[in-house]
A and B are shown apart, each in its own frame.
Chain A
Amino acid sequence: MTRIAYVFTAAWQGFSRNPVMSIASTLTIALMLMLFAFFVVTDRGLQSAVALLESKVELVVYLSDDAKISQVLDVKARIEKDPAVSRVEYVSKDDALKRLRDISSRRADVGPIEEIGTNPLPASLEIKLQSAQESRRVAGELRAEIGNGVITEVVDNPQIVDKLLTITRVLSFGGLAILLMMLFVALFVIVNTIRIAVHARRDEIEIMQLVGATDRLVAAPFVIEGMLVGIFGAALALLVLFTASGPVTAALVQFLDILPVSLGPNFVAELAAGVLGVALLMGAGGASISVRTHLAK
């Protein structure tokens, strides 16, 4: 019991007897954690925005004017069975012409289309996909059927799909790299803070070792001190984040109202737990590194 009291007293003394250093590192950790949280929010937002965009990826299959309704329905049913497909819509020749009229009435550059005597537009199937990754495969399979009397052409947008996939990938890898770098900086700050604390108490450590204290007990106050820096940093970061989140969200929703992005129901709790967890891990890990290096000398 006295030992536990010693560990916590020593940890608190270590933190409070060098206030400038402790506050400076707490602020640095808080800043790092804010960046961390900001990154997580942005990443989550962009990922879900990309997912939303992905769900809008479409394939269009143009149908031969000679195709029988039964054949068209057959093809439609087959496409709908594909698990990568979320919806298939039939657009008749009349529907297509109506759309064109609609467009031309709103846009001068398309020009009047009244002089067209017959309807030149083919009927089509518009396919919405579950995931953009599958776009190439589905398009390929349908293209293989061109010339069988039903399908005349398949239009997909491989560039857009590829771009979307690239964005997703860059976000994941780039984000991970930035995240690792930030965690490294945070760790470095803690290591240095605790190194100074260890140096300030080197006499005490020497005597502890002389009288036969275990390494674990020698290290414990410093590890707790590192975790204290982490906890205070996390508390500060979360306070700032939650204070700022209201106005920022409002501004963003106005700005990005085209994208109804959802971050998930438990996101706030997950984020807070994540920030605190990272802070504790950094605090304890950084402190351990400092003390162990000192003890190994």
Chain B
Amino acid sequence: MITLEDVSKRYPNGTYALRDIDLQIDAGDFAFIVGSSGAGKSTLNRLLIREELPSTGRVVVDGQDVARLKRSGVPLLRRKVGIVFQDFKLLQTKTVYENVAFALIVTGHDGRTVREETERALGLVGLTGRRRHFPRELSGGEQQRTAIARALVMRPKVFVADEPTGNLDPVTTWEIIKLLVRVNELGTTLLVATHNAEIVNALRRRVVHLDHGRIIRDEREGLYAA
């Protein structure tokens, strides 16, 4: 589903965010990307949605070479790759329902699809009862679940979570992780960038360890630290 071949990302000031990355993530995989801040986790995520281009190498998502996409092809890529962030990125002037429906509306879905799919996604994340609330009226966990629903509503093939629990307390963190496991079980390829060792160690999934832009470890059923 995702292939990185010999990928490096070098910034104009000469520093490398990623260096000589070879990575293969199959459809339906669940992989943690771990490493300290600045190890290159976020850059990797940004390459997948073509928010950045690799300096060298190839990034292939669902059979498409991301660097070769025309500007008009980028939206289609992003509909296949759902992404959530540590800071949720919800629209404060829209309700939970409107935030989720927004993704469908601006990608040109008809009214009936918008209604049905939004309800489905809200049901999946357990926020049907909070649909009329505004983000400021929600807990951090509920806000992240809204963001997850907004990504899921597009039925993406790949789901990328960039530090999804960075702002959440331990109990809420587990809530979100369980939800992500559920998303993966439903068939979506899942990539979770985190530096929460407890989660990684408890789940024993694939672990890709980044350090200074290089992969220093890639284990099936791995732990946070070697």
Contact = CB atoms under 8 A, between A and B. Distances in A.
Interface of A: 1-3, 6, 203-204, 206-215, 217-218
A6 B105 contact: yes
Interface string B104-115: 011111110010
Interface of B: 49, 71-72, 74-79, 83, 89, 91, 102-103, 105-111, 114, 150-151, 154
A207 B107 contact: no
B79 A211 contact: yes
A178 B74 CA distance: 43
A211 B106 contact: yes
A29 B81 CA distance: 43
A213 B110 contact: no
Contacts of B103: 207, 211
**What DSSP secondary structure best describes chain A's contact surface?**
helix
A21 B91 CA distance: 22
A211 B154 contact: yes
B108 A210 contact: no
**What DSSP secondary structure best describes chain B's contact surface?**
helix
A211 B107 contact: yes
Contacts of B102: 207-208, 211
Contacts of A1: 110-111
Contacts of A204: 91
A3 B105 CA distance: 6
B17 to A, nearest CB: 19
Given A2-B110, A208-B102, 15 more contacts: A1-B111, A2-B105, A2-B109, A2-B114, A203-B91, A207-B91, A207-B102, A208-B106, A211-B78, A212-B74, A214-B75, A215-B72, A215-B75, A217-B106, A217-B108
27 contacts: A1-B110, A2-B109, A2-B114, A3-B105, A6-B105, A6-B106, A203-B91, A207-B89, A207-B103, A207-B150, A210-B49, A210-B83, A211-B78, A211-B79, A211-B102, A211-B106, A211-B150, A211-B154, A212-B78, A212-B107, A212-B154, A213-B106, A213-B107, A215-B72, A215-B75, A217-B106, A217-B108
A210 B108 CA distance: 14
Contacts of B107: 211-213
A3 B78 contact: no
Nearest to A3: B108
**CB-CB nearest 7 A-B residue pairs:** A212-B79, A212-B78, A213-B106, A211-B103, A212-B75, A2-B111, A208-B106
A3 B113 CA distance: 12
B7 to A, nearest CB: 21
Contacts of A203: 89, 91
A217 B75 CA distance: 11
B75 to A, nearest CB: 4
Contact of B76 (A6, A209, A212, A218): A212
A217 to B, nearest CB: 6
